[in-house]
Structure 1
């Protein structure tokens, strides 16, 4: 008698098929974040359910196992697209009607986080307030009800009726002016609009007046966090010490100045001074270690609750508590979610391979936060965990235990440093070559000493003073290491495909594969190491008009030379300016390692505010500009003078203004630069030249000498510039006004817009365009040069808006996230 054939095993009995489904789900979530228009969630959801149903039918049949698995994978991919689209649409629906931008509205809201001090921004001290509104406001001058977003970021500047800023957890009635989220967009830089979307902030603005309605209840988490911050600031006098302690305990990263963040970044230890996955995981491990010690001391406890399970879940509880104390930010949520999934798998006895366990954790985190899958912190955290899980421990180590511990620490840090190299280049554009050494000292010192001391200080404030000694020692060490030659490698930003190849090759090199395969993985770095951006050919130039809000910064490149004309506005001390925030990162991402000339057209802060940061961040050959004696760069600067001309690689450059010895207001002596390539295509960059000086320049210039295909609108499109005589003499094909979204000056003025329209000249603004690029070798300029058009995403504000009297004190920006 023939024995019956064994029943076919379900295709999902093994955990590995789950990996394909989880990866497909995450791919669907991530894909949506790269689209200019949101897909239809219902259509994709329906297709996903159909495909998933067919896959399950195929799996049950036992004969279409591959078809069933494929259907399940396709179904989960479609469901991922549908889920991310639905989440995004729900978030986008919380938008402000453009008709109510810049108008006085009365709204009630609760301070939903720690207010952030903005000393000196916009010329006045103030606070940035994260608010959770009721969802409705009303017109301050009428009875109309206005829907407003739940998440709002406001600036509170000191002034009449604004002497006491709101505190965390309080409820206020505020008269505000709001605008939609609209922030500068430049190539090679993170998208801050996405960062705010992930956190639910859908409107920004400023406070006109306010009235406290309800004080914060004693149990409010945010109020508790602010009281702790007050305690730190009251007990610790040194600004750096209290800023670091507030960052490690509360996740408040705003107190550390830009220069200190630059030092941490160059030393490769930024992740240690923010609430990161490393600290939360380390705290969970310390709690688990303490629980195991207690269970060994009282073995009878293990009869009620086994030590491994107790350590696992009490450690997770500790991690959750630390994350709450730190504000329950998105990075903290991701870390706790990862730990919870891993703890659940272990408690269920699911001995899944570690790649599948990480995939499951990533899928859960992505379901809660689809935008996490395109954020640096997500990938850095998960890749670091993957490197550790893949590396394991070396068997057969001999010698004293301290030597084994040191060897394991060095090996682990080396693996993590190498594993994160391509991601660091992809996300941050630089790698700290001293990071391996600095982390060997900083990781145990911060994780095992500084963080515990900072947390102990919550109950015993004297511990904060001991932490201050460690902070000073760490800073001295990092300053010495960053001073080493070649401490930081900041190559040009390679295309995503080249960076992705290096990521895959690094994974192959670290995987436990035959040596030949691992060496082949290392070869994937060759394109990344050899890649450099193409420079203009001889006789041509590249012009990049950066988006720096209400200000000016223009980068000019020829075959072998680089010039920066202006460096954007400043909001406070050096480092709190557009030069450090946007200009320097853009130049480095484009492979600029030296400026042949830094030009400051005139001393107005919206043109000169970032110049000092640029001069400190890059070697500069010559400083040129109309600078007053008190300017920090005045001693190095030589004036720009009309009549001076020079040739760079076949490109003719001329100063047209001011005349030698000219005097007057800042705008009247603006440096005016004319650039013409070998084919005769030209750009004219007149800074803030007023109409009277425009007419004088036209009068003294030979006919046709001012003609240019691209004109940077004088004075950001102010009504005091762009005279009819000027437009007739220049005869541009395109014009661009560097003006901020809904700026307080009303640039470009309506009369100027009408003047350009009457002359048949399209006028773009940096608010609607983002950064603008023109390569003269490619032909005439066009709207295709707009960065917002090239990199359109669904969350970007659809269009520019008419200027309005509205302004915030400085731009919203993400803190340094590990």
Structure 2
């Protein structure tokens, strides 16, 4: 026990992570307890600010799932049909930072119907959501200020990327083709959007089931594996050209942000991006940071930006997998063994 305590205390980044994780857990629970509660199944009209607009299942789908912040502790999940907006409202106005008034039927999150099944209530708590509005109808909207312009550009970039991927990779079934060919083409519908953007809304049930049965569903959770594959051609290109080491590092540090932008800054890709940037910083200051310390610093940064991540399984699975590989990797000098460990690490992370 003494050795374990010494291992922790000699790593200030790990100590900081433990402190921030504890504060995030206590603070998120306090926020959930202080949230405004409403009567179940009662009609409700609320006003608030949009803090998140999810991507649609497809670029031509006008259904949007939004998060509405009613007050400091209360956030509601609302599904809006953008084809049913008031006459004086525009589709482009429904974006982050806009202030809206909406009516609907209030519902609490549903508990899991079966052991191990999806629990809407647990998911709401992990996202800081108090409840949801069904049969929602938008009444008024006040457009967002220019302060939110960078977020709007990011959302438009992701929506355009989704449309481009759909146009490039959506299977087209020719008239008169056999049912086997049609089923095969439909079986990989939406897979490129999932692999590149982490957006699984366009995948068919068949594809999701096949990935789950193969134990490969984590492939559509954009993380370190996707980042390494994305950086591979840039690494090869920089190796073939006569770039200086500093220029090469600067180029990769800029390019590494693209997958995070494309996927909307999920936990896995954020962790991998921060670790890459920390490693890049090590080379510039000519010192080698402890790997666990770097991992803990990345986790601390993510929890500061999103405290409710401490309640999300995906956050912990991502960091536990990365930390296990860093701690348990053998110190063998065999290149074959190291390559195998690195390959395993890429696919696990």
Report what 1:243 is aligned to.
190
Measured after TM superposition, the shift of residue 235 of structure 1 is 4.3
The answer as to 2:138 corresponding to 1:210 is yes
Measured after TM superposition, the shift of residue 325 of structure 1 is 2.0
Report what 2:161 is aligned to.
228
| Unaligned runs of at least 5 residues, structure 2 | 1-5, 172-185
Tell me, in whole angstroms, the C-alpha distance in 1 between the residues paired with 2:42 and 2:238. Answer: 56
Measured after TM superposition, the shift of residue 226 of structure 1 is 1.8
In 1, are the aligned partners of 2:329 and 2:341 still within 8 Å (CA)?
no
In 1, are the aligned partners of 2:40 and 2:108 still within 8 Å (CA)?
no
Report what 1:96 is aligned to.
36
Change (3 A) 1:312 1:157: same
Change (3 A) 1:181 1:174: same
Change (3 A) 1:26 1:389: closer
What aligned pairs does 1:94-493 form with structure 2 within 5 A after superposition? 95-99=35-39, 102-107=42-47, 109-110=49-50, 112-117=52-57, 127-133=63-69, 135=70, 149=74, 151-156=75-80, 169=95, 171=98, 173-184=101-112, 187-188=115-116, 192-210=120-138, 213=141, 220-238=153-171, 241-284=188-231, 286-294=233-241, 296=242, 298=243, 302=244, 307=245, 309-369=246-306, 371-372=309-310, 375-384=313-322, 386-387=324-325, 391=329, 395=333, 410=340, 412-413=342-343
Helix, strand or coil for the counterpart of 1:387?
helix
Residue 86 (structure 1) aligned to one of 15, 20, 27: 27
Tell me, in whole angstroms, the C-alpha distance in 1 between the residues paired with 2:25 and 2:84. Answer: 45
- Normalised to the residue count of structure 1, the TM-score between the two structures is 0.33
In 2, are the aligned partners of 1:338 and 1:361 still within 8 Å (CA)?
yes
Helix, strand or coil for the counterpart of 2:157?
helix
Deviations 1:100-155 (A, max 9, x none): 8632304355473334349xxxxxx983512344x36xxxxxxxxxx883x43222
Helix, strand or coil for the counterpart of 1:245?
helix
Change (3 A) 1:17 1:396: closer
Change (3 A) 1:88 1:344: farther
Tell me, in whole angstroms, the C-alpha distance in 1 between the residues paired with 2:139 and 2:115. Answer: 42
Deviations 1:210-268 (A, max 9, x none): 35747897953213322332333344432555511222333221111233122112222
Helix, strand or coil for the counterpart of 2:256?
helix
Tell me, in whole angstroms, the C-alpha distance in 2 between the residues paired with 1:104 and 1:188. Answer: 32
What aligned pairs does 1:57-76 form with structure 2 within 5 A after superposition? none
What value does the CA root-mean-square deviation take over the aligned residues?
A: 4.4
Identify which of structures 1 and 2 has the higher relative contact order when contacts are C-alpha pairs closer than 8 Å and 6+ apart: 2
Measured after TM superposition, the shift of residue 323 of structure 1 is 0.9
Number of residue pairs matched by the alignment? 318
Deviations 1:445-472 (A, max 9, x none): xxxxxxxxxxxxxxxxxxxxxxxxxxxx
Change (3 A) 1:387 1:205: same
Tell me, in whole angstroms, the C-alpha distance in 1 between the residues paired with 2:339 and 2:137. Answer: 55
Measured after TM superposition, the shift of residue 364 of structure 1 is 4.0
In 2, are the aligned partners of 1:154 and 1:204 still within 8 Å (CA)?
yes
In 2, are the aligned partners of 1:277 and 1:335 still within 8 Å (CA)?
yes
Change (3 A) 1:390 1:330: closer
Measured after TM superposition, the shift of residue 369 of structure 1 is 4.4
In 1, are the aligned partners of 2:82 and 2:91 still within 8 Å (CA)?
no
Measured after TM superposition, the shift of residue 277 of structure 1 is 2.8
Deviations 1:663-722 (A, max 9, x none): xxxxxxxxxxxxxxxxxxxxxxxxxxxxxxxxxxxxxxxxxxxxxxxxxxxxxxxxxxxx
**By percentage of residues, which structure has more helix?**
2
In 1, are the aligned partners of 2:101 and 2:140 still within 8 Å (CA)?
yes
In 2, are the aligned partners of 1:116 and 1:254 still within 8 Å (CA)?
yes
In 2, are the aligned partners of 1:341 and 1:360 still within 8 Å (CA)?
no
Measured after TM superposition, the shift of residue 158 of structure 1 is 9.4
Tell me, in whole angstroms, the C-alpha distance in 1 between the residues paired with 2:311 and 2:137. Answer: 39
Helix, strand or coil for the counterpart of 1:209?
strand
In 2, are the aligned partners of 1:106 and 1:173 still within 8 Å (CA)?
yes
Change (3 A) 1:287 1:215: farther
Query: Which structure: larger Rg?
Result: 1
Measured after TM superposition, the shift of residue 281 of structure 1 is 4.3
Change (3 A) 1:106 1:358: closer
